[in-house]
Amino acid sequence: MENIDKNYTRYNVGVDTTTVQRLLTLNRQFYTDHGREFSATRERLQMGVMRVLDSLCGDESILDLGCGNGELARTLSRRKHSGSYLGLDFSLPLLNEAEREPFSFPVKFLAMDITAENWCSKLPPSTFDLIFAFAVFHHIPGFELRLNIIREIHNLLEVGGCFIHSNWQFLSSERLKAGIHPWDEIGFVPEDVEVDDYLLDWKRGGTSLRYVHHFDEVELAELAKASSFKIVETFYSDGENKRLGLYQIWRK
């Protein structure tokens, strides 16, 4: 684990709601414009996600945040999962991909943005055994917004239920680091954002930019503590170096 001293200057209290909304809009536009191209790169689940699925009993009720093109639900279907599954995503192109075929167990998809106010109040009344957020939170700007969403996740879980998530470790790849762009390309200066916030490019179907935050174990431990979760497992997986994804399991 990294030295916790880094944490004292991590958060920029000057990150205001206007900045947060501009970054969210940037990413919403990206996944609207490039949903199909992005889906084509996500036809197989990452090895870390498969490791999580290998640990399931098969009857858990699951809420999948940022469900994308539905590949996780299709994999569960092939594995004869019997518990209910609810997938949320704001990208209509990705949700259209998710709904392209039937499933062998109870599956439902909803168009929903978890960064919107009171998003969880729009869900069917229920609690869940497991909540997934694979490659989701690194696209959510601002400590306060992340923490608010995680506290809502805590409320949606059964006692003893788990929040399982992964976060992109793009700084471990020289190729991905080469895609970092300066903030002035979207009219920002570094002081507008938090430490470990980045602007990364995407070059399929034309060059576009996305907001991405780089988490480490120290920052995730702070979020877990502040939202009353207990971290029960941490592991790294994915990519050629098997370090492109930082996975954690938090228990309520």
Nearest-angstrom CA–CA distance, 89 and 186: 25
Q: What is the mean pLDDT of residues 33-45?
A: 69
Using pLDDT thresholds of 50, 70 and 90, give the confidence band for residue 11: low
Q: What is the mean pLDDT of residues 160-188?
A: 96
Q: What is the DSSP string of 187-234?
A: T--GGGS-TTEEEEEE-SSS-EEEEEE---HHHHHHHHHHTT-EEEEE
Using pLDDT thresholds of 50, 70 and 90, give the confidence band for residue 41: low
Q: What pLDDT was estimated at residue 250?
A: 98
| Six token digits for residue 98 | 């998710």
The pLDDT of residue 76 is above 90: yes
The pLDDT of residue 15 is above 60: yes
What is the helix (H) or strand (E) element at residue 128, kind and residue range? strand 128-134
Residues 92-105 pLDDT 10s: 888 999 998 899 99
The pLDDT of residue 6 is above 60: no
Q: What pLDDT was estimated at residue 1?
A: 38
Residue carrying structure tokens 């191209």:
37
Nearest-angstrom CA–CA distance, 31 and 125: 28
Please report, rounded to a whole number, the percentage of residues in the chain having pLDDT higher than 70.
Answer: 90
- Assigned CATH topology for domain 13-251: Rossmann fold (3.40.50)
Residues 108-132 pLDDT 10s: 999 999 999 999 999 988 899 999 9
Residues 175-220 pLDDT 10s: 999 999 999 999 999 999 999 999 999 877 667 899 999 999 999 9
Mean pLDDT of the chain: 90
Contact 238, 244 (CB under 8 A): yes
Q: What pLDDT was estimated at residue 7?
A: 46
Q: What pLDDT was estimated at residue 36?
A: 67
The pLDDT of residue 38 is above 80: no
Domain ranges within the chain, ordered by starting residue: 13-251
Nearest-angstrom CA–CA distance, 113 and 62: 17
Residues 101-129 as b/e (b if ≥16 CB within 10 A, e otherwise) read eebebebebeebebbeeebbeeeeeeebb
Q: What pLDDT was estimated at residue 220?
A: 97
Nearest-angstrom CA–CA distance, 145 and 35: 24
